[in-house]
Copies of this chain bind each other. A is one copy, B any other.
């Protein structure tokens, strides 16, 4: 946690740099100050087969799901969502000049009782308490 999943129509790869977008969004997640570096996993899932709106070939979408652990306040969650959405919007701005693009984001919390995790990156990335 947190997981940021980007589902998108495959044609988006030719319209935007999605590797850069993953980096930009990871940076946005960390800039909120609410999440640890070692925990952030942003990834894109490209969909080759789809039917969007009136099915013009130029139609494209990016749909983001942000799954996070519990423990942030409503205000913090809203702030995180706004920050992520704004970063995506900025990166994809040229697409909004066309009448063919839809962007969306949903935040969903992970049930702490019914989730499990093990992360070998934290030990490397967490600040040592003291080097004495």
Contact = CB atoms under 8 A, between A and B. Distances in A.
Interface string A99-120: 1111111111011011111111
Copies per assembly? 3
Interface in A75-104: 77-78, 81-82, 85, 89, 95-104
A51 interface: yes
A89 B46 CA distance: 25
A49 B22 contact: yes
A96 B51 CA distance: 24
8 nearest A-B residue pairs (beta carbon)? A43-B50, A99-B124, A43-B47, A22-B51, A107-B114, A26-B51, A44-B49, A102-B119
Given A1-B104, A81-B114, 13 more contacts: A3-B63, A7-B45, A26-B52, A43-B49, A44-B48, A52-B121, A74-B113, A77-B114, A97-B120, A99-B120, A99-B121, A105-B116, A106-B114
